[in-house]
């Protein structure tokens, strides 16, 4: 949110000395507001004024980058329909240093395996949270090193014992791990350690009030690479805190809370834990630390994350080229649909379930569904015929039967005419494909 | 210095709909269900009373359904007997309501008569004490005839019946008015059509507090974000006093979630996806938990294991109510 000239003027010395090159402070402020000139040109602006100006023009929630491409924060809205959510919740799986080396390796292998392919997309787990529960700084350091050597993902070093963090951090600092947590008891040493190694740090307190106080204290150490933890470990309270923190950052630009928030699950049973995590992914957590690491458990959560963090104005599209499902041959049916990902994969799913290998040609409709495309004139017979020809499907099949979506039955005559193919009107919804194929 | 938390003040609450009627009220239910009445965004107890928690209606069909084995195996033979099936849902799964889908009436299938269907409805009513949601077979012409007959046969029970849509709402709305039931008003992920349909139904004389909105959700991984945002906008609209959006919302979680490949494909086919059983449970569970965060008042579900997890999730989130 840009500052107005008047807001900037309020922070200036108001000497009208002209040394910045502009005759009056007001004129200088106006220039700055329109993006011309730099605050540094003024020799008399106070540190406090500088701080206020930086702060006011900064984004509502700081962007914190760490590890292997992980980005937290940098969100601007409370509801995705107001614009979009930008940075999908960073998901980290926890490993305790109290486990045996073999168990640690096994868990790490499982975490590294959390790579999924579905509907043309690829999901990967973001990182590993190494939890110090052993009480032994050397053990913690050793485990951190073992895990760092065994994965290239982002790391979170979790201990409230600064000695453990001091022991473990140096060897992995170059990987820019997130460390935590700085609490009321230890924040000076932990924040200074983070500052020394240029890594972000979790500021943890029990509740909003305590968190506010602690962040303000921590900021005074001259460091601001923070991630917030309001300390709650149950779904209801965590949801409330995530909401409070996000609202204050976005609606009031409340600076102490202008940082990303991390949530931790509390459920022990994996399915219940994933249900709990889904609340935090839906509502404002920039990072969530999980215990679950089985593929079947993590995949649904990653699908939800991807869904909610999709930009509402940018539908996901598939390539408008000929696709095939199964072991196609010259007799295989040919379906035509649109290149809206949801439409395409709904059709593909049903075609696959029909167990009849087929070709599917998605027409480029700018990622819109059948009805939307047709209404917008993007699903005309000429365009479909043209795409059909360019796809080369005529060389692949010895028939000329084309199955079109039932909703656009009205174009069948014209399409038949311009393409030379026999047009068969398919079901109106992809869910009707199986019944349709039985009747074919 | 105390932090001044932002607590929104809304002008309006979501309307409250009552489903079911006890003997004193002219029906045969042992309990009634109230949905809606929320004075704030979902589960934000610090700024408004959430009168009625979200309820789960478990799906029962009048003829055995073509569902996957993951779900069917949890029920076994009882799927052949709607009344016993409904009883199992209530007694073992603690379903708050039963959602009875009369698929047997489908002209493309058994094409059962309204009378045959009404008999099944009576059996299910006799088997359980919880309120019922009853819908037809998705054939508009058949359903008009069918639901009119069902509405008449169950007058006094204050059911929730469906489906009223923009192109076909008059028959069911009239049946609901005459025989005093509630109606599901379904719109295709379009907030304007949703409002328009509610206007049309209320202009026929059905009170607004007898309408439940079905926004036609997409399941997890297959468009859930569209419903997510439509529902959030609808809930915000309701709280800002838009009467045509102030209805509780119902979501076809069981149906949509279980259409997904991810809820059906064996691990052998997709080793990268892990164990099918847990995957299917979570696919339905997360479809539900995500929509709870945007105001779902009634969840229509199938998988008993998913129902259990969602009940736990609701309990957890209602903790500070």
**Which pLDDT score is estimated for A5?**
86
Q: What is the CB neighbour count within 10 angstroms for residue A305?
A: 21
Those residues whose C-beta lies under 8 Å from the C-beta of residue B66, and which sit 6 or more positions away, are none
> What are the φ and ψ backbone dihedral angles of B4, each rounded to 5 degrees?
-85, 95
State whether A302 and A350 are in the same domain.
no
**Which pLDDT score is estimated for B271?**
94
CATH code for the domain in which residue B286 is found: 3.20.20.20
| B11 inside domain | no
| A93 inside domain | yes
Q: For residue B175, give the nearest of B185, B196, B161 by alpha carbon.
A: B161
And the tokens for A6? 């008047």
**Which pLDDT score is estimated for A1?**
47
What is the rounded CA–CA span in Å between residue B14 and residue B257?
A: 26
Q: Do A276 and B5 touch (CB under 8 A)?
A: no
* Of B221, B278, B316, Cβ closest to residue A118: B221
State whether A205 and A341 are in the same domain.
no
**Domain of residue B255, residue span:** 16-318
| A316 inside domain | no
What is the rounded CA–CA span in Å between residue A302 and residue A91?
A: 9
Residue ranges of chain A with per-residue pLDDT less than 50: 1
What is the rounded CA–CA span in Å between residue B137 and residue B143?
A: 6
| A314 inside domain | no
Q: HEC states along A300-345?
A: HHHHHHHHHCCCCCCCCECCCCCEEECCCCCCCCEEEEECEHHHHH
State whether A119 and A199 are in the same domain.
yes
State whether A131 and A152 are in the same domain.
yes
**Which pLDDT score is estimated for B1?**
62
What is the rounded CA–CA span in Å between residue A302 and residue B67?
A: 25
pLDDT in tens, A377-396: 999 999 999 999 999 999 99
Name every chain B residue with its beta carbon within 8 A of the beta carbon of A429: none
Give exposure, A236-245, as e/b (b: 16+ Cβ within 10 Å): bbbbbbbbbb
| A88 inside domain | yes
CATH code for the domain in which residue A48 is found: 1.10.15.40
The residue of chain B nearest to residue A299, with distances taken between CA atoms, is B273
Query: Which three-class secondary structure state does DSSP give residue B11?
Result: coil
What is the rounded CA–CA span in Å between residue A276 and residue B231?
A: 21
| A200 inside domain | yes
Domain count, chain A: 3
What is the rounded CA–CA span in Å between residue B57 and residue B12?
A: 27
Among B239, B283, B289, B296, pick the best mutation site for testing chain A contact (most A Cβ within 10 A). Answer: B289
State whether A19 and A112 are in the same domain.
no
State whether A72 and A198 are in the same domain.
yes
* Of A81, A115, A119, Cβ closest to residue B229: A81
| B1 inside domain | no
**Which pLDDT score is estimated for A52?**
82
**Domain of residue A423, residue span:** 323-439
| B263 inside domain | yes
- When computed from its CA atoms, the radius of gyration of chain B, rounded to whole angstroms, is 19
Q: What angle do CA A216, A219, A221 make, to 5 degrees?
A: 125
| Residue labelled with tokens 């059709």 | A347
**Which pLDDT score is estimated for A2?**
62
User: Given phi > 0 = left and psi -120 to 50 = alpha, else beta, which region is A417?
Assistant: alpha
State whether A276 and A328 are in the same domain.
no
| A330 inside domain | yes
Which H or E run contains A158?
Answer: strand A154-158
| A315 inside domain | no
Prediction pTM value: 0.92
**Mean per-residue pLDDT for B274-288?**
98
**Which pLDDT score is estimated for A335?**
97
* Of B43, B221, B228, Cβ closest to residue A239: B43
| B298 inside domain | yes
**Which pLDDT score is estimated for A48?**
87
| A318 inside domain | no
**Mean per-residue pLDDT for B226-252?**
97
| B4 inside domain | no
CB–CB of B165/B36 below 8 Å? Answer: no
CATH code for the domain in which residue A396 is found: 3.40.50.11600
State whether A177 and A246 are in the same domain.
yes
How many residue pairs bridge chain A and chain B with CB atoms within 8 Å of each other? 163
Q: What is the CB neighbour count within 10 angstroms for residue A386?
A: 14
**Mean per-residue pLDDT for B238-246?**
97
| B6 inside domain | no
**Which pLDDT score is estimated for B275?**
98
pLDDT in tens, B33-67: 999 999 999 999 999 999 899 999 999 999 999 99
**Mean per-residue pLDDT for B224-240?**
97
| pLDDT of B132 above 70 | yes
What is the rounded CA–CA span in Å between residue B186 and residue B184?
A: 6
And the tokens for A93? 């799986």
State whether A126 and A209 are in the same domain.
yes
| B9 inside domain | no
Domain count, chain B: 1
């Amino acid at each position: 949110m840009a500052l107005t000239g008047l807001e900037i003027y309020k922070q200036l010395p108001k000497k009208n000395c002209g040394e910045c090159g502009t005759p009056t402070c007001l004129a200088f402020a106006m220039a700055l507001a329109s993006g011309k000139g730099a605050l540094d040109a003024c020799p008399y602006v106070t540190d406090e004024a500088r701080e206020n100006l930086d702060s006011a023009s900064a984004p509502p929630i700081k962007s914190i980058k760490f590890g292997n491409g992980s980005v937290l924060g940098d969100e601007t809205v409370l509801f995705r329909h107001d614009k979009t959510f930008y940075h999908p919740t960073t998901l980290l799986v926890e490993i305790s240093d109290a486990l045996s080396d073999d168990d640690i390796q096994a868990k790490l292998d499982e975490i590294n395996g959390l790579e999924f392919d579905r509907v043309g997309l690829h999901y990967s787990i973001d990182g590993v949270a190494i939890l110090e529960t052993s009480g032994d700084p050397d053990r913690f350091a050793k485990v951190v090193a073992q895990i760092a050597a065994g994965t290239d993902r982002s790391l979170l070093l979790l201990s409230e014992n600064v000695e453990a963090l001091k022991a473990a951090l140096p060897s992995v600092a170059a990987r820019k791990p997130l460390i935590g947590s700085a609490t009321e008891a230890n924040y000076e040493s932990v924040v200074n350690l983070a500052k020394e190694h240029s890594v972000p740090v979790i500021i943890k307190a029990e509740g909003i009030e305590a968190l506010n106080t602690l962040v303000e204290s921590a900021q005074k150490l001259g460091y601001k690479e923070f991630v917030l933890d309001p300390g709650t470990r149950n779904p209801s309270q965590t949801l409330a805190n995530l909401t409070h923190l996000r609202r204050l950052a976005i609606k009031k630009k409340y600076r102490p809370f202008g940082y990303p928030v991390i949530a931790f699950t509390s459920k022990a049973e994996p399915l219940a834990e994933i249900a709990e995590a889904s609340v935090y992914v839906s509502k404002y957590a920039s990072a969530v630390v999980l215990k679950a690491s089985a593929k079947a458990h993590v995949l649904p959560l990653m699908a939800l994350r991807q869904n909610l963090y999709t930009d509402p104005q940018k539908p996901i599209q598939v390539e408008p080229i000929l696709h095939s499902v199964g072991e196609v041959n010259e007799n295989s049916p040919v379906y035509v649909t649109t290149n809206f990902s949801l439409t395409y994969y709904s059709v593909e799913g049903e075609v696959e379930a029909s167990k009849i290998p087929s070709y599917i040609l998605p027409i480029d409709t700018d990622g819109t569904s059948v009805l939307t495309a047709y209404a917008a004139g993007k699903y005309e017979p000429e365009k479909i015929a043209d795409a059909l020809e360019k796809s080369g499907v005529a060389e692949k099949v010895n028939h000329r039967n084309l199955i079109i979506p039932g909703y656009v039955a009205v174009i069948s005559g014209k399409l038949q005419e311009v393409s030379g193919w026999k047009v068969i009107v398919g079901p109106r919804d992809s869910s009707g494909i199986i019944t349709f194929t039985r009747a074919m | 210095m105390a932090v001044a938390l932002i607590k929104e003040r809304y002008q309006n609450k979501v309307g409250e709909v009552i489903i079911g009627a006890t003997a004193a009220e002219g029906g045969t239910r042992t309990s009634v269900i109230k949905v809606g009445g929320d004075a704030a965004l979902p589960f934000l107890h610090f700024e408004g009373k959430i009168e009625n928690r979200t309820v789960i209606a478990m799906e029962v069909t009048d003829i055995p359904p073509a569902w996957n084995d993951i779900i069917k195996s949890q029920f076994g033979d009882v799927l052949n007997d709607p009344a016993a099936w409904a009883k199992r849902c209530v007694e073992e799964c603690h379903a708050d309501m039963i959602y009875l889908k009369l698929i047997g009436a489908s002209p493309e299938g058994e094409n059962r008569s309204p009378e045959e269907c009404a008999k099944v409805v009576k059996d299910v009513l006799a088997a359980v004490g919880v309120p019922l949601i009853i819908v037809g077979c998705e054939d508009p012409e058949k359903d008009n005839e069918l639901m009119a007959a069902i509405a008449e046969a169950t007058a006094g029970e204050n059911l929730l019946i469906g489906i009223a849509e923009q192109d076909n709402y008059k028959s069911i709305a009239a049946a609901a008015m005459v025989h005093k039931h509630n109606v599901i008003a379904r719109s295709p992920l379009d907030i304007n059509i949703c409002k328009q349909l509610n206007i049309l139904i209320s202009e026929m004389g059905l009170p607004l507090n007898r309408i439940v909105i079905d926004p036609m959700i997409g399941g997890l991984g297959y468009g859930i974000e569209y419903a997510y945002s439509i529902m959030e906008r609808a809930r915000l609209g309701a709280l800002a006093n838009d009467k045509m959006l102030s209805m509780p919302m119902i979501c076809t979680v069981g149906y949509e979630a279980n259409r997904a490949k991810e809820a059906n494909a064996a691990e052998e086919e997709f080793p990268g996806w892990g164990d099918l059983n847990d995957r299917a449970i979570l696919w339905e569970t997360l479809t539900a938990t995500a929509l709870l965060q945007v105001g779902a008042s009634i969840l229509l579900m199938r998988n008993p294991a998913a129902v259990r997890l969602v009940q736990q999730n609701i309990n957890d989130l209602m903790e500070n109510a």
